[in-house]
Amino acid sequence: MASILNHHIAIVCLLSYISFSTFNFVSSISSSTYIVYVNPSHKPAPYHTHAAWHAALLQSLTIDPSYHLLYSYSSNSAFAASLLPHHVPLLASHSSTLHIHPDTFTPLLTTRSPTFLGLPPYLSSVPSSNPSMDVIVGVLDTGVWPEHPSFSDAGFSAVPSRWRGECESGPDFASSVCNLKLIGARSFSRGYQAAGGNTSAASPRDLNGHGTHTATTAAGSPVANASLFGYASGIARGMAPGARVAVYKVCWTQGCYGSDILAGINGAIEDGVDVLSMSLGGGSAPFFRDPVAVGTFSAIQRGIFVACSAGNSGPTPSSLTNTAPWIATVGAGSLDRDFPAYAQLGNGKQYTGVSLYSGGWNEKEILPVVYNKGVQVGSNSSKLCLPGTLDSAQVKGKVVLCDRGMNSRVEKGLVVKEAGGVGMILVNQAANGEELLADSHILPAIAVGAKNGDIIRDYVLSDQNPTVQISFAGTVLNVKPSPVVAAFSSRGPSTLVPELLKPDMIGPGLNILAGWTKSVAPSGLTADERQSDFNIVSGTSMSCPHIGGLSALLKAAHPDWSPGAIKSALMTTAYMLDNTGSPLHDSANGTQLATPWAYGSGHVDPVKALSPGLIYNTTTEDYIAFLCTLGYTIQQIRVITSSNSTCSHKLSTPGNLNYPSFSVVFGQRSRKVVKYQREVTNVGPAGSIYNVQVTGPASVSVSVKPQKLAFRQVGQKLRFTVTFKSVKVGSRWDAEFGWLTWNNGHNQVRSPIAYTWNY
């Protein structure tokens, strides 16, 4: 999944011995980190804290906690320990242990987006009466560049008194850098260190850029004249410019460890955040083995809204991560903003692509263009512009055409530049489709889609003397169609729970401008000496903090809404028509329409989400009943719930969770009829009367009982039952889609329905 991220986080190598500053391991070479979940009801009364009990438990097994205990988690009944091989069976067989698993490793997964989302204009400062000032957004990521202008606290009142967090000092981070806007900054690196990672300068400072980008997207203060070297210029601001930000650095140079993520989530819960935005994750382990799922369950229990990236592994089906029902799983779409550039070939034909190039460039100059000029290194040809594959003699002074794939897009530019090339045409592979990612390349470069790229490549290979003129057209707005689902955005169906429709929604995630660190260039290349306060990046890492920030606005407007209610409001008001009135397209194949497996309920519409009419509320008890239907053992469920759950209450199927969307799987045990129940809460005016509308494929007959819901009061709850009957014989993995909408003439409370046949 990391390949599409601009700042690729590679897999950590467990090779070198590191001398630990804080933990002086006797033999760290053979030790590995484990996360150990213990039964909270086994804690003997004399131990006042979980930490003391965890230490005693290790001691009783002659495992010295001062050497081996990395973290004690207070919100989850668990700890992380660096264990020698013979320790593992001792702990696994201890009567208090519910579950033990090796630490996990995960990669990391604006000026335009507020207007695009229809948020009211927000000028140069934050009004002091802004209700979102009481909302605290926690961001788990690569840390923060605290001096960034987006963390200006001009106009902010005192920090809410319930805040218990801190601003940790470090070698390059004074605790005085926090202010009334950036109210907390902490770092968690014990898991990373135990795996051999170098955190010699452990502090919350962002040396990557990803964390500053996500934090400023969620809740950056307004900054006038923001741009990346003139591109995407305007007032940059986060989704909730009035909210406070607390940053938890859990991802380091090479990635993020589950033990650190769990510690960061626990820290954020204790500190008192209201929202968690987590642009990280990977894989699809069962919920009890996934620290993001386990940690965020504790957050939800305490009323904290959680947004996570859906992943960047699209358009491959079933490529989602972070699919627990208590998480808002966020995919990515495009904005209506583009950065066009043109390649005029020697044969007179002109092709359009994108570029962020700025600087001296003679648009009149006709330059020779070459492809695949160099030496094959192993199985790697020069087509991909991998390091060491270009021949300077044949490339010098020329524009080089490079195919996408294998190495990062910006590294290809560096390879061309170092070989003496003067420009690059970067061509999409078929799987990238026509989606154009704008990157801050180190040399003049134009990115083109697969179709145009194939034509240009054919020209370069067949013409005797191929040439190109490249010109740049700056920033263009009101691009149509938009939004379009990003090709890289991970897709459903969910493999863990096919009866749960995921992702939940999409938000802006393509070519997003937001704050950046001063410690690396916008290209992320060490060879690049440029600096910028802002950068343009793409990924579901960028769409996730949009939803995190918007949830803070909803929380400010409706302080009594549960996280499930906020998610329901965002989902049932999302739209699925683009700015040309067509259903949303899929960038992976521009001619095809996207489906709810790509966009969930649709694209977020924050203004409508403020008054959704009806809410599909979900409580902690609902989630526990849902977990109890998944076939997990009671121990595995207790790992997630940190309580004495007994599964006395189960759902008839996981699809019966009171969720704002539907996924119907026909054929399990030859079922042709699936029945789901839901309950909706009236958050609109008293006296609202809703009628149901169902659209969808002819292959399913749908009946809803009752067809009319009449609410006498605000806050009243009414139930309905939907019966789905397959009237065709579907083949395995056949899929179709439909919608169920409650309409009162003013609100359309819309839910997508995904149908799968699994005979």
Ligand X SMILES: *[C@@H]1O[C@H](CO)[C@@H](O)[C@H](O)[C@H]1NC(C)=O
The yes or no reply on residue 208 touching ligand X (CB under 6 A) is no
Nearest to 429 by CA among 456, 454, 450: 450
CA distance 4 to 169: 33
SS3 of 579-606: the string is: CCCCECEECCEEEEECCHHHHCCCECCH
176, 462, 465, 591: residue in contact with ligand X (rule CB under 6 A): 591
- Using the rule CB under 6 A, give the single segment among 67-75, 197-205, 574-582, 721-729 that binds ligand X: 197-205
Q: Looking at residues 34 to 53 of the shown chain, list those that interact with ligand X (rule: CB under 6 A).
A: 40-41
Does 615 engage in binding with ligand X (CB under 6 A)? yes
Other C-beta atoms closer than 10 Å to the C-beta of 41 total 10
Size of the site for ligand X (CB under 6 A): 29
Stretch 689-728: interaction string toward ligand X, x if CB under 6 A = ----------------------------------------
Region binding ligand X by CB under 6 A among candidate stretches 374-382, 507-515, 535-543, 626-634: 374-382
CB of 42: closest distance to ligand X in angstroms?
9
Task: Confirm if 748 and 612 have CB atoms less than 8 A apart.
Answer: no
Among the candidate windows 317-325, 555-563, 570-578, 594-602, which touches ligand X by CB under 6 A? Answer: 555-563
- Alpha-helical segments (H) within 227-305: 258-271, 291-301
Which is nearer to ligand X, 619 or 677 (by Cβ)? 619
Nearest approach in angstroms of CB 717 to ligand X is 9
> In angstroms, rounded to a whole number, what is the distance separating the alpha carbons of residues 569 and 588?
28
- Alpha-carbon span 29 to 17, nearest angstrom: 7
Told to check if 379 binds ligand X by CB under 6 A, we report yes
Residue 225 binds ligand X, judged by CB under 6 A: yes
Q: Any idea which residues carry the catalytic annotation?
A: 141, 210, 541
Could you give the CA distance from residue 727 to residue 186 in angstroms, rounded to a whole number?
56
Interaction of residue 3 with ligand X, rule CB under 6 A = no
Sign of the CA dihedral running 200, 201, 206, 209: negative
Residue 174 is a binding residue for ligand X (CB under 6 A): no
Closest separation between CB of residue 344 and ligand X, Å?
A: 25
Member of 178, 343, 683, 753 binding ligand X (CB under 6 A): 683
Instruction: State which residue, 619 or 741, has the beta carbon closest to ligand X.
Output: 619
Contact with ligand X (CB under 6 A): which of 74, 352, 380, 677?
A: 380
**Cα(306)–Cα(137) distance, integer angstroms:** 10
Conformation bin of residue 177: beta by default, left when phi > 0, alpha when psi is -120 to 50: alpha
CB of 251 closer than 8 Å to CB of 280 = yes
User: Which amino acid is located at 10 in the chain?
Assistant: A
The site string for ligand X over 406-435 (x = CB under 6 A, - otherwise) reads xx----------------------x-----
Least gap, CB of 619 to ligand X (angstroms) = 4
Considering beta carbons, is residue 705 or 719 the nearer one to ligand X? Answer: 719
Diameter over CA atoms, the chain: 85
Q: Minimum Å distance from CB 681 to ligand X?
A: 5
- The Cα-based distances of 483 to 319, 435, 503, 602 in angstroms read 21, 12, 16, 10
If one asks whether residue 648 binds ligand X (CB under 6 A), the answer comes out as no
**Range in contact with ligand X (rule: CB under 6 A) among 293-301, 378-386, 506-514, 687-695:** 378-386
**To the nearest whole angstrom, how small is the minimum distance from the Cβ of residue 487 to ligand X?**
10
Q: How far is the CB of 391 from ligand X (least distance, A)?
A: 16
Nearer to ligand X, 344 or 611 (CB): 611
* Contact status: 378 vs ligand X (CB under 6 A): yes
> 385 vs 447, which CB is nearer to ligand X?
385
Rg (CA), the chain: 26
Does residue 562 interact with ligand X by CB under 6 A?
yes
Of 401 and 565, which has the nearer Cβ to ligand X?
565
Is 681 an interacting residue with respect to ligand X (CB under 6 A)? yes
Distance of CA 26 to the CA centre of its chain: 38
Which tokens sit at 486? 């990003």
3-state secondary structure 45-87: CCCCCHHHHHHHHHHHCCCCHHHHEEEEECCCCEEEEEECCCH
Residue listed under structure tokens 């607390």: 246
Q: By the criterion CB under 6 A, which residues form the site for ligand X?
A: 40-41, 198, 200-201, 224-225, 377-380, 386, 406-407, 430, 560-562, 565, 589, 591-592, 615, 617, 619, 643-644, 681, 683
